[in-house]
């Protein structure tokens, strides 16, 4: 698929991807092309490698590289190994004697039971149980956590952290404050694909087999000592590597030699949707709870019962009584259903929900989508209809992930 074709597909249909137009959903933290855009430490590196740069989440980010199309890039990650610049994400450290308790107040996860250098997907919740952002929380020690949040929610997240830290620290007394450090301008590189481990192993004496999915370590890589977390956003085995600002370009050069290919936003979106991963602003927002989003598994077992986190009352009620809507996967006949497409009962009798993300799946050769539907209609195999270009097309509710994950679990 050519760059112009990718842009024509993404522009206007998925409001998180831009060609030359401005974005419509500014209220959710995504910058228009007329606003000043931030740059990651790899901006010049991308330009040198023929990247087509587009506005995304307040940053100028690569959509694709040279004449390599989105589908070819997607398939390369599924079959070999690719690398993504995700340095736009916000990396933070939280430290202090009560850091665990503080983060367990902000999120519903059981962080106290996490082993050192283990991670969990989690969510920051508002008082109504709505998702302020989704996040990866890594425990380094009982009093130290590494947290990654979304670039498009940078302002909202940092303001929330500041407000809640002030409130928390005013009550701690002799236990001392929790400190928050934003790792400004640090690089973050995602090496993804079935050949990611073998490639990275050739650059380090560290035995990567002991680094299983959801764990991390400081790993020596050709003279660099880098935080490497096993996981990612594609459904494939891989690593997310945090890099100090002064080393980002050199590490990117080291990690982007053959067979590794540079991969942009176009393929990142199709890979993550096949893997059933949510995109904040499309599939998650402040009016959506983790129960509605099918993320109840991030809530610790004892926390479901005892609460103690912001928004717990709403979440616990939904866990008990069930939500009124649920996130589901769909396979759609004919043309692909895009963000905003309405979901109906058969024969268009009743509107049931809305599609939040949708693509033609390069791996499956089918039109796949994610969305929210009324409870009672959410069971797998249920047939519905989706409005695509003013026509109702048949769709079947299908379990996610659409593509079987290939994570390394040892």
Annotated binding-site residues for substrate read 240
Structure tokens at 343: 């979901």
Q: How far apart are CA 359 and CA 368, in angstroms?
A: 6
Give yes or no for a contact between 64 and 74, defined as CB atoms under 8 angstroms apart: no
The conformation of residue 11, written as its DSSP 8-state character, comes to T
Q: Which residues are annotated as a binding site?
A: 240
Look-up of token digits 């997607």? 74
**Contacts for 334 with CB less than 8 Å, ≥ 6 apart:** 367, 388, 391, 393
Give yes or no for a contact between 269 and 359, defined as CB atoms under 8 angstroms apart: yes
Q: How far apart are CA 243 and CA 256, in angstroms?
A: 15
Q: What residues form DSSP beta bridges with 133?
A: 124
Return the half-sphere exposure (C-beta side, CA atoms, 13 A cut-off) of residue 354.
Answer: 6
Q: How far apart are CA 34 and CA 23, in angstroms?
A: 10
Give yes or no for a contact between 316 and 308, defined as CB atoms under 8 angstroms apart: no
**Contacts for 58 with CB less than 8 Å, ≥ 6 apart:** 29, 30, 31, 35, 37, 38, 88, 151, 152, 154
Q: What residues form DSSP beta bridges with 216?
A: 229
**Burial (CB count within 10 angstroms: exposed 0-12, middle 13-18, buried 19+), residue 266:** buried
Q: How far apart are CA 396 and CA 384, in angstroms?
A: 6
Torsion sign, CA atoms 355, 360, 363, 365: positive
């Amino acid at each position: 698929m050519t760059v112009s074709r990718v842009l024509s597909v993404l522009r206007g249909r998925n409001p998180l991807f831009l060609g030359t137009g401005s974005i419509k959903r500014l209220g959710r933290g995504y910058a228009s092309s007329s606003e000043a855009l931030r740059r990651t430490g790899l901006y010049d590196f991308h330009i040198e490698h023929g990247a087509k740069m587009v506005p995304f989440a307040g940053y100028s980010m690569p959509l694709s590289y040279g004449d390599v199309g989105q589908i070819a890039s997607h398939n390369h990650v599924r079959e070999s190994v690719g690398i993504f610049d995700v340095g736009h994400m916000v990396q933070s450290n939280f430290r202090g004697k009560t850091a665990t308790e503080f983060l367990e107040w902000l999120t519903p996860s059981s962080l106290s039971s996490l082993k050192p250098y283990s991670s969990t997907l989690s969510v920051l919740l508002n008082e109504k149980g709505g998702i302020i952002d989704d996040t990866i929380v890594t425990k380094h020690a009982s009093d130290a956590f590494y947290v990654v949040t979304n670039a498009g929610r940078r302002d909202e997240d940092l303001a929330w952290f500041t407000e809640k830290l002030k409130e928390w620290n005013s009550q701690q007394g002799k236990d001392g404050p929790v400190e928050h450090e934003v790792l400004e301008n640090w690089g973050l590189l995602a090496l993804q694909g079935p050949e990611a481990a073998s490639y990275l192993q050739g650059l380090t004496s560290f035995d990567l087999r002991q680094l299983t999915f959801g764990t991390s370590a400081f790993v020596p890589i050709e003279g660099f000592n880098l935080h490497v977390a096993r996981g990612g956003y594609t459904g494939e085995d891989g690593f997310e590597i945090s890099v100090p600002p002064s080393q980002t370009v050199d590490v990117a050069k080291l990690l982007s030699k053959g067979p590794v290919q540079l991969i942009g936003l176009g393929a990142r979106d199709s890979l993550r949707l096949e893997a059933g991963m949510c995109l904040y602003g499309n599939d998650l927002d402040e009016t959506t709870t983790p129960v509605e989003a099918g993320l109840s598994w991030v809530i610790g077992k004892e926390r479901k019962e005892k609460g103690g986190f912001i928004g717990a009352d709403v979440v616990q009620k939904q866990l008990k009584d069930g939500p009124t809507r649920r996130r589901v996967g769909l396979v759609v006949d004919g043309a692909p259903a895009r963000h905003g497409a309405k979901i109906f009962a058969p024969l268009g009798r009743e509107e049931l929900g809305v599609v939040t993300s949708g693509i033609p799946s390069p791996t499956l050769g089918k039109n796949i989508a994610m969305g929210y539907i009324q409870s009672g209609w959410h069971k797998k195999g249920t047939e519905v209809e989706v409005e695509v270009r003013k026509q109702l097309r048949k769709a079947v509710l299908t379990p996610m992930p659409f593509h079987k994950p290939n994570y390394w679990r040892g």
